[in-house]
Each structure stands twice: as C-alpha cells, then as structure tokens.
Amino acid sequence: MTKERKLSGITVVEGKGLGKAYIVGRAVQQSSVVSISRQDVGDHIMRFNEIRERAKEDYRSYQKNFDGTSSFDASILNIYEHILDDPAFIGQVVETITTKLFDLETSIRLVSNDFIKRFNAAGTSYFKERSGDMVEICEKLITYIHENKGRQKTFLDSIVLVVLRTFTPSDILSYDVHKIKAVVSVSGGKTSHAAILARSYSIPVVSGIHNITERIHPGDELLVDADKATVFIRPTPTVINKYVELEKKETVVRKTLKKKWDRPVYTRDGVHIEVLANISMPDDINDATANGADGVGLVRTEYLLSNKKEFPSEEEQIKFYKSIFKKIGKKECVVRMMDIGGDKIPEFFQMPTEFNPFMGWRAIRILLERKDLFEMQLRAIMIAGQQYNYKIMFPMVTTLQEWIESREVIKEVSKKLKMDVPKCGVLFEVPLAILEMDTFIREIDFASIGTNDLLQYLSAADRNNPKVNHLYNPIEPAFIKIIKTAIDISKDNGTSISICGEMAGNPIYTILLLGIGLKRFSVIPRNIPIIKELISNISYVEAAESASHLFAIDTSSGVNKWIKRVNKQMVGDLLQKIPTFE
C-alpha cells in the first residue's frame, strides 16, 4: 500500500473534508479506465466522428469571428483542424476503442497523453508547441463528451475537487455540491467569488499546492484539513478516525445552535439585531431557513447563468426568482442585479480582453450598456416579486450619475408593467461611491456594504494574489473609519444599512461591527446561528463604549490586540467553542 503523504498550502475556506480526488482544469488527466461491451464499439466510434466534426466547425467559426483588428492570427487555428483529421490520431483512438474495449473518453485521454509524451520527448520548440495543441484538442473533445446542457455532474462517492489552476465558481457549480467535500487548488484567494461560494456550501478549500499532478492522482483518497492548511494523501486509518470524531462533535454543536436560534436575536441589553442570509441558488433558502435567517440580505443572481449555454429567458428568470420569494415567504429578500464580470463570466457571454477584469467592464457597467439584459432582469424580478417583500440592489455603482441613470430604467420598466417602483438600493463596494455616501443616501431606499471588493480597491491589493493579500486587511484603522462613517450617515438619515461581505460572517469581528453601530448582518447560512449566539452574549452599549476608544489606535496590529481583548472580556471562551474556530 502506498504511504500517506502530507502537503501544506494556504487556508482559503476553513473546515475539513474527506473524499476521492477528482481532477479538473485539464482534460488530459490520467483517469480511471472505463470499459465497454463489444456491441457498444460502433456507437463510440460514431460519437467520436460527430464530436470531431463539431470541433472543426467551432474552429472555423472562431476564424470567421475575427474582424482583422486583433493581433491574433486566426489562421493558426487551422492546425487544430489538421490534428482532428490526422489519420494517426483518428486511427489510434478507433483502435483503442475497438481492440481494448475502452470508452471514448478513456481512449481520447490515453491516445492524447501518448502523443503529448512523444512531442515533449522530441525536445524541440516546434514539437513542444504541438504538445500544447494536443492538450487543446483533448480538452475540446472531452468537453463535448460531457456536455450536459446545464445539468450538474454527480458522483457515486464523495469527492475532493483538485483544480490545476485558480479555481472559479463554475468549478463548484458544475458538480453536485453535496458530493464535493473539499477543494484543493494551485491558487485562489480567501475572498474570491469562488471562495465565497465554497464557504456558503461549507466546502473547505486549500490553495497554494503546486505540482499537483506529480503528487495527487485521480481516485486518491484525500483528507483536507483546511483549518491547518494541510492535505493528507491516502491518510492512515488513525488520521481518518480522528477526523470522523471531530466532525461528530462539530455536528452536535451546530445542531444545538440551529435549534436554539430559529428566532430573532437581541443583544444582552435588548437591542434587536437582524441576521440575514447570503444565497446563490433557490435551494440555499432551505439552509437559510433551517439556520434561522431573519430574511435574505443578498441573492447573487449571476449564478443563475452558471453552466448555461445561453442567457436565460425572462420566463426562466421569473421561475428562478419566484422560487426564492416563495420559499422565504413574508420575510425581506434583497435581490442583487447580476454582477457579471471579474471571475464570474458565463461561457456564452462575449467579454473584451481586459488586463484587470475586476476593475473593468462588469456589473452595472454592463447592464447600463446592455439595456436589453438590464430591463429583462428587472421585469423578471418585479413580476416574480408581486405580493412578496423584495428589494433590488445594484452592484459596482461608482457615481451618482450612474445611479440616476439606473433609476430611470427602473421607473420606465415599472411604468410599462403598471407596477409601483420597487425599493432599490446600492451595494457600496467602490471607494468613490462610499466616500459620497451622504449624497447617495438621499437618493436610495437602503444601503449595503460589500467589504470584499471595497477593501480590495481601497488597499490596491488583489485579494487573490498571495504576494500582496497581506495588505487586504479588514481591520486597517482607515477601513474601519470608512465603514463607521457610512453606518453613521445611514443612521442619521433613517436609512437601513447592512454588511454582506465576508467580514460580517466572521465571528471574530462581531463585537467590532456591533460597536460601530451595525444592526444588520448578512452572512452565509451556516454562520447565522454562530453570529446570533455571539450577539446574544454582547451588550450593545458596552460594545459601542469600547469601540469609541478604537479610533485612537493607528495600526492594524493595535486593532487586532483590541479585538482579542474585547472578545475575551465580553464573550469569554465562547469563540473557542464555536466549530468554525476549533
């Protein structure tokens, strides 16, 4: 039996998970061999010819779509057609299917790997380029084999996704999330959208694992201990038993808290605090309700596009939103307009090449240019939301003029539908906007702060870049002052304000946020009982009094010491008893 190995990486999402390695991000991975019966040979060869022809048509289409202004020479795509028509490639795949009785995917993988090894062994730059071309062809063909028209792929066993690049939201949404027990990736930041999605589904993530294919093989049993940034390959029974016992204890604690907090929460001195849920899919409402959500503070509607081959119709969108509204019932539900762009790019959506897509054409900037998509989504939300307590929130708003233009679109759609204008607000995540909060507040119905992007832009530190993400620190004094100012302005104007970024869901910062006046938290469903338990043990007045001294501190290390001291004073050892921070 192969010995256990242990790898160290970087914690992205805390937790532990056990499952078999399933490698994504490169189609030529060595996979389990799948056999077929003799009578299925003809079908697999026929399918091979079909997908080859389809691939060639796609490459021809790519060439036609280049308008000549690009520096890319589209004619080099001809090489892919030559490979797809190469008698040696075709012959070896057919022979593997016919003589070895392997299925089409296994045959393509084996033959492609054989070609790649031979190209790499040749040593010349020309053949190394052909090796890359072979990877492209293999990926293309395997994609067609697994094309499922938006249906998630599922598994018989629990899996650990092993991603050979930076992992993205689609890496999670393409599969049955209930079977994904953890993610191991080459790279990925703690507050990337993929990490946020993984956290909402309680999927632990470890990144920074290099040379993955040399260390982890498909089907290897993996135990991911993201709390300690460790990955065990083929763990021993002793290690597995220890994991199982810890999981049992955590389950008991979480179950107890869920039962206790299926009701509103008040601070120790009687101040009502709302704890809402951040969700992505209709089924997430079940988790939100089970965990005692007071409502939904953020519906990430762009995930409606995931795994889709085309933009969803108005009817599809209405069905999506109505299923969410129906499940949440009379409680408040804040729907965010699609935040397309950054690392959330649907495969069918034509995006320009951008050096920094997170600061480029995304969210409201796309919607104001693509009014057809903007109006379609507004109509769908408003039609689905009749008789429900919903609000609409707009992401990445930068200037007041941008908001005024958006509001005119809302009024026009409302007029055409003969409906009242819904309550609309802004997700403050762009520095220019939040610094003009006193101007915005007179024009909006509610506000929310997206601490993830806001902090990234204020600190000029890419949250996914391990070289600089130490600068991405939510307890920098300047950042806390900006948040407090926004909360104070909202309070003075009688406008509700929430925080829906990762900061709100981190129990370490609960006292800090209460102390600077926050009364609406919007967090992932599984953290709702934890945040409520903490709130019930804190005096709102005492937290405010303690926080009043915070702004005399001028370093993040000083703020960190303050947080540790105040947490100890107000909640004792409660944080150590919470499963997330064991």
Q: Where are the CATH 3.20.20.60 domain residues in the chain?
A: 250-581
The three-state DSSP-derived secondary structure of 60-128 is HHHHHHCCCCCCCCHHHHHHHHHHHCCHHHHHHHHHHHHHHCECHHHHHHHHHHHHHHHHHHHCCHHHH
Of 60-64, 251-255, 437-441, the one with minimum mean pLDDT is 60-64
pLDDT tens digits along 36-59: 889 999 999 999 999 999 888 877
The pLDDT tens digits for 155-176 are: 778 899 998 877 777 677 777 8
Beta strands in 477-553 (DSSP E): 497-499, 520-523
Torsion sign (Cα): 168, 174, 177, 181? negative
315 has a pLDDT exceeding 60: yes
pLDDT of 582 higher than 50: no
% the chain with pLDDT above 70? 84
Number of Cα atoms under 13 Å in the Cβ half of residue 60: 9
Average pLDDT in the 305-312 region? Answer: 70
Alpha-carbon radius of gyration of the chain: 26
- The reported pLDDT for the residue numbered 360 is 63
- Distance (Å, whole) CA 560 – CA 545: 17
Q: What is the pLDDT of residues 528-539, one digit of tens each?
A: 999 999 999 999
Asked whether the predicted pLDDT for residue 335 surpasses 50, the reply is yes
pLDDT attached to residue 73? 45
HSE toward the beta carbon, residue 381, CA cutoff 13 A:
29
Lowest mean pLDDT segment, chosen from 143-147, 148-152, 282-286: 148-152
Q: Fold for domain 5-28+151-249? A: Glucose Oxidase; domain 1 (3.50.30)
198 or 70, greater pLDDT: 198
Mean pLDDT for the chain overall: 84
275: β partners: 521
What value does the mean pLDDT take over residues 454-470? 77
Q: Which CATH superfamily is domain 250-581 in?
A: Phosphoenolpyruvate-binding domains (3.20.20.60)
Domain with CATH 3.50.30.10 in the chain: 5-28+151-249
> How high is the pLDDT of residue 72?
39
State the DSSP H helix or E strand holding residue 277, giving kind and residue range, or none if neither: strand 272-279
d(CA 370, CA 296) in angstroms, rounded, equals: 27
